Structure 1
Amino acid sequence: MIADREYRLGRSSEIELPVPWEPAISRVHCLLRTRDREIEVEVAANSTNAVFHRGEPVRSIRMAGGESFVIGRTRFILAHADTDDSSGADHPVEEVVVTRQQLQNVRYEDPDRRIDVLAKLSEVFDSVHGEMERDGRLVSLILTGVRSAEAAAIIALDDDGTMRLRSWERRRETAGAFRPSRRLVNDALNRRQTTLHLWDPSTINQETQVDYTVSAEFDWAFCTPVRGGRGRRWGVYVAGQSPVNTGTTGRSALQADIKFIELLAELLGSVERQNRMEGDLSVLRQFLSPPILTALERAGDRESLAADLEPRECDVTVLFCDLRGFSQRSEESSGDLPGLLNRVSGALEIMTQSILQHGGVTGDFLGDASLGFWGWPFSSEEAPLNACRAALAIRRAFRKARETPHHPLNDFEMGIGIAHGRAVAGKIGTSDRVTVTVFGPVVNLAARLETMTKQLRVPILLDEATAHLARTRLSHDEGRTRRLGTVQPYGMETTLQVSELLPPVAEFPELTNEHITRYEQGVDAFTAGRWAEAYRCLHGMPDADQAQDFLTLRIAQHNRTPPPGWNGIIQLPNK
């Protein structure tokens, strides 16, 4: 506990000092205020069970070091964790940096007991409600596993180098304060290697004994770092007394203890890395598809996860899907906006689930529109094809809704634009909010293609790069493409050759493959300026196909004769 701070003590896991194991303690039972080397305890007004100090019930007390109070069956002792090591006696007689290679051939004298201790770790992680309770349980296990230890602690170095005792325990409760060696902790945690200090108690005179860093009853101590990632420096500190300076037997026993703590620290680090990675992935589950999550989980550590999610430039395929006529529908449903919101949520659910089911990443909702992309965090040659599959799945779901009487989405229509190219994609955000996004010209192009679906009267539009890949690699049993022409969107200097993505014949028999061939012949004739021929090709399309209207109307308006200076490019009048 830090001086001049206020701490809440109770059963709640959301306060500073949680004590979930004591049934007599209220959710917030009392307030503790630190004052220099004293502490004030004030019982909360709504606490029913008394706080006992020196056998008497009290509502408020002021305690010094060594005093205690009791709630229920739990005793709370005020003990100073003194980390001041200004004394010159902190210099060890011997310092040993222990490597894992040195410990490979070390054998345990009592492996069964140590295995029992390790087996209890899962119980600690499963049952505790916070870091403080976990650390308290860990130091007790450490003393059980290291019989020669007189004291154990979970210790950390803050960013400014301040040493902080997160939890500690003495084997003998009456032994007094625990004062770990700051020098040892700094050496071990900064080197990121187990470091052993050996002292000779006989060299400590009466003047230095009071300030001796680990106290005269300890003649050895070691600190093992926990490699949990994220730059945190913390570890396990163990101190005790044994005849390690007088022979090889004691030194071998201590090496076995160090090997055991090394194993314990490795397990702690693995759990911490896994928990942090799970925390990151839990935030990202709403954006990432199951295959991507599985691949990220296989990365195995938080550092590689962070690298995989880091924003970077890559080839991506972007899908932009928007609901048509949403503004008009909002006006018509002004008396039932919650109902409209539920319907829109259902439509967005169709979009996002189709994206995720086909291996994509979902970005933020943009009003009544959804954004998905492929090619990040892992590149894939299947990215454009999976985007096409997702788009066809969305079209299929909306068509099924329209054909189902009284379906909440039976009057909804959508437009989809898909584009492929370079972009920057990755995880962005603050400590309070994290999201994934993609940005670049290809994103704007996908959005423009979606807008153009209204003008070209088709549900799904592809840019030239995506259409080429779909035409050559997408199975006809999955989908088909149809060239619609070359256009120059309003406000853009570049021209685009756009194509429609269509379902397979089995799913959309109204438009046969022969129809598509005949239509593309009409497009070629239109581009070349042979508009009478183009009109005959396009006019043979089935009535259900509205795409023909885009070209036939222009041909009819010009009396089947291209305007002077015709270059085969259709100028779109607006967005």
Structure 2
Amino acid sequence: MAELEARFEKNESKNWRRPLPEGVEIKLGRAPGPDGWAADWDGFISSVHATLLWQGGKLRVRRRLEPRPTMNPIYYKAVENDDFSMAPNERFVIGGTTFALLDGSAPIPEPTPLRPELTEMTCSRQELRKVRFVDADQRMEALAALPEIIRYSPSEQELEQRVVQVLLQGIPTAQVAAIVTCLSDGTPEPKVSVLHADRRDGGPGDLAPSRRLVFEALQNRRQGVLHVWKQDITGLEDSRFSLVDPKTSWAICIPLPDDPSPGWGLYIAGGMEHNSRSADSAAMELQLKSDLKFAELTADVFGALRQVHHLQHRASVLSTFLSQPVLIAVGKQNIEEVLQPREVNATVLFCDLRGSCKIVEGGQAELMSLWDKVSEALGIMTSAIVENDGVIGDFQGDAAMAFWGWPLGGEEQIERAARAALTIRRRFAHVARQPGHRLAGFACGLGIAHGPAIAGRIGTLDQFKVGVFGPVVNRAARLESLTRRFRVSTLLDDAVAQRLATSGAGWSRCRRIARLQPYGMSEKVLVSELLPPTVEQGQGGLGEPHRLSYEAALGAFTAGRWTDVPHHLKFLGNDGPAEFLSNYVKQHPEGPPAGWDGVIKMESK
């Protein structure tokens, strides 16, 4: 009968081996219920992580995807896989636990027989804990350097180089140390790569590692493996698992945690001081066990450092989209709960560059240089958004979308969005006043809307982003597109304008533009313009008397007194909304239509 074996790399006392009944589906997880198989020692395994079905000589393994997928994936043949069938003597991995399908009679056989000249040794972590270090002072000195590695390794490459040096320092008989990877691509020969290698003698760092050893440690056993051979033997030129370095008589390979990327390991090779010893006795030497223990400790630290670097990189990426208060708030909560889509009242800002398309059309031969300019312009937008605690939701070419109200709520989200819009306007106006500035030809249009939306993780299971969904997003985009028609910088819906009318005094103003029915939409929107305070009216802002004159014209227009409109607009020369209203009245000389409700239906975007 086929059996499934669970092997936890950090505590082998937790291991179990159980027969697989034919045709019965079994739940596998940390707390799968009374009829399931529990692996409660591994925090990376969900309560119910997968289902198992042994049928027809194959074991089908399916990751739980509903009602929401498990946080951690399943690795089969070193690749994430949600649904697969495996044959006896194959394995899959979840977190730090390896699950092996056995034929019921013996442990998994070796994929390729060991050469008689070679001796293989593995030690459980429990056994290694009992091993006393040989050359303890030298090894402790090497381990003491690890905190400095954490502090002064600015890049992954620098970290790899320093870890290799620690291995050479802490293992006296090592001649070469390396970071290796072994990725299974379904072919008979494992694909082994050397990422970084150093030699004790300072010679070239080229290394041809034993592919058998690397495969055994990183893919087959998922634990540290030591190979020992006679230094003077010949005939080890096997094309798959060659040991070609004449100076070495032993090699160790230690797997690193699969997070953040599977198939990584440490590889160390060296020579024994007394070649007269047999391979069997050498394999049991305390010296080699000490070397294996030191390599395991270094792998634990290096694995943790890789995870920290990965998390730091993710945090740095997030910091370009989320402000520090948002990051702090997210860090205090369960990330899965935070990302879960939920209904919120959101304020959405759309910001689109103006002038970029014309510039690109005129300089297709210098697209990279032009893209640098567009990126700099997008940076003006995103910096203002993040400074005001907004979340960058999306980029679409030369446009950016941001939103407020998730993950932080609060009543000030509209004010923050408006402040971000005014900051963007000021910064583009500032560069426009500088002769010769690379962004002098750019401007932007902005639309801000407020309303119910779904925010959080948006998309499919394998392709998602943090975003916002709902009519409010469409409305903000339409408002932004209308800024071209009215030749203004920022347009608002009524919810935003009403809020700013009471809370924006002193730092912002609003001008009602018109009640519109945007093209292709049934919704009618009272559109307003966001203006800077009166102290900035000399920098392109509308003066307060002109704002009041336009409001009076709009009041007459909405009430159907169209003959009064030109009188109120006569002093608003070169004003986009005034020209639009005036032209609309001129295009309808017969006056307001029957049943006039004050709404202008837009005939195009």
TM-score (norm: length of structure 1):
0.57
Match of 1:417 in 2: 447
Q: Which of 319, 323, 329 lines up with 1:289 in the alignment?
A: 323
Task: Determine if contact 2:512/2:529 at 8 Å carries over to the other structure.
Answer: yes
Structure 1: give runs of 5+ residues left out of the alignment. 40-50, 63-67, 80-128, 135-168, 179-236, 238-264
Match of 1:76 in 2: 251
Offset of residue 30 of structure 1: 2.5
Match of 1:536 in 2: 567
Offset of residue 444 of structure 1: 1.0
Change (3 A) 1:456 1:60: same
Match of 2:492 in 1: 462
Q: Which of 407, 419, 429 lines up with 1:399 in the alignment?
A: 429
Identity of matched residues, %: 37
Offset of residue 346 of structure 1: 1.9
**2:531 aligned with 1:502, yes or no?**
yes
Match of 1:32 in 2: 210
Match of 1:23 in 2: 200
Task: Determine if contact 2:208/2:244 at 8 Å carries over to the other structure.
Answer: no
**What amino acid sits opposite 2:515 in the alignment?**
T
The residue correspondences of 1:27-426 to structure 2 (distance < 5 A) are: 27=205, 29-34=207-212, 53-56=229-232, 60=236, 75-76=250-251, 172=286, 277-278=311-312, 280-299=314-333, 304-426=334-456
Change (3 A) 1:276 1:305: farther
DSSP-derived class of the 1:416 partner = strand
Match of 1:151 in 2: none
**What amino acid sits opposite 2:329 in the alignment?**
A
Change (3 A) 1:315 1:38: closer
Distance 1:382 1:551 in 2: 33
Change (3 A) 1:511 1:396: same
Match of 2:552 in 1: 521
**What amino acid sits opposite 1:419 in the alignment?**
A
Offset of residue 364 of structure 1: 2.7
Change (3 A) 1:13 1:573: same
The residue correspondences of 1:421-440 to structure 2 (distance < 5 A) are: 421-428=451-458, 435-440=465-470
DSSP-derived class of the 1:421 partner = strand
Offset of residue 527 of structure 1: 0.2
Task: Determine if contact 2:406/2:456 at 8 Å carries over to the other structure.
Answer: yes
Could you report, residue by residue, the CA deviation over 1:371-406 in whole angstroms, capped at 9, with x for unpaired residues? 111111221222111111111111111112222111
Aligned residues: CA RMSD: 4.5
Distance 1:11 1:428 in 2: 44
Mean CA deviation greater in 509-518 or 357-366? 509-518
Task: Determine if contact 2:180/2:265 at 8 Å carries over to the other structure.
Answer: no
Distance 2:523 2:580 in 1: 20
**What amino acid sits opposite 1:388 in the alignment?**
A
Match of 1:157 in 2: none
Offset of residue 32 of structure 1: 2.4
Change (3 A) 1:551 1:431: closer
Change (3 A) 1:339 1:268: closer
Match of 1:4 in 2: 111
Match of 1:484 in 2: 513
TM-score (norm: length of structure 2):
0.54
Offset of residue 538 of structure 1: 2.3
**What amino acid sits opposite 1:386 in the alignment?**
R
Change (3 A) 1:132 1:525: same
Offset of residue 529 of structure 1: 0.6
DSSP-derived class of the 1:508 partner = helix
Could you report, residue by residue, the CA deviation over 1:52-85 in whole angstroms, capped at 9, with x for unpaired residues? 95343868378xxxxx999879943699xxxxxx
Task: Determine if contact 1:461/1:498 at 8 Å carries over to the other structure.
Answer: yes
Could you report, residue by residue, the CA deviation over 1:172-216 in whole angstroms, capped at 9, with x for unpaired residues? 56899x9xxxxxxxxxxxxxxxxxxxxxxxxxxxxxxxxxxxxxx
Whichever of the two has the greater Rg, that structure is 1
**What amino acid sits opposite 1:504 in the alignment?**
P
Match of 2:578 in 1: 548
Q: Which of 435, 447, 450 lines up with 2:477 in the alignment?
A: 447
Change (3 A) 1:544 1:503: farther
**What amino acid sits opposite 2:232 in the alignment?**
E
Offset of residue 572 of structure 1: 0.9
Change (3 A) 1:331 1:132: closer
Structure 2: give runs of 5+ residues left out of the alignment. 1-90, 92-107, 114-174, 183-193, 218-226, 255-261, 268-282
Distance 2:575 2:209 in 1: 74
**What amino acid sits opposite 2:385 in the alignment?**
I
Task: Determine if contact 1:10/1:28 at 8 Å carries over to the other structure.
Answer: no
Match of 2:542 in 1: 511
Distance 2:537 2:567 in 1: 23
Offset of residue 276 of structure 1: 6.9
Could you report, residue by residue, the CA deviation over 1:329-382 in whole angstroms, capped at 9, with x for unpaired residues? 333333433333222222211111111111111123101211111111221222
DSSP-derived class of the 1:406 partner = coil
DSSP-derived class of the 1:56 partner = coil
Task: Determine if contact 2:392/2:401 at 8 Å carries over to the other structure.
Answer: yes
Distance 2:460 2:586 in 1: 56
Match of 1:102 in 2: none
Change (3 A) 1:343 1:377: same
How many residue pairs end up in the alignment?
Answer: 383
Distance 1:553 1:500 in 2: 19
Could you report, residue by residue, the CA deviation over 1:221-273 in whole angstroms, capped at 9, with x for unpaired residues? xxxxxxxxxxxxxxxx9xxxxxxxxxxxxxxxxxxxxxxxxxxx9x9999999
Task: Determine if contact 1:277/1:305 at 8 Å carries over to the other structure.
Answer: no
Distance 1:284 1:491 in 2: 36
DSSP-derived class of the 2:563 partner = helix
Q: Which of 554, 557, 567 lines up with 2:587 in the alignment?
A: 557
Change (3 A) 1:345 1:23: same
Offset of residue 12 of structure 1: 4.4
Offset of residue 10 of structure 1: 6.8
Change (3 A) 1:473 1:559: same
Match of 1:103 in 2: none
DSSP-derived class of the 1:380 partner = coil
Distance 1:77 1:339 in 2: 49
Distance 1:175 1:516 in 2: 84
Distance 1:457 1:271 in 2: 53
Offset of residue 296 of structure 1: 2.6
Change (3 A) 1:503 1:174: closer
Change (3 A) 1:339 1:4: same
**What amino acid sits opposite 1:30 in the alignment?**
A
Distance 2:528 2:344 in 1: 24
Distance 2:361 2:522 in 1: 36
Offset of residue 559 of structure 1: 4.0
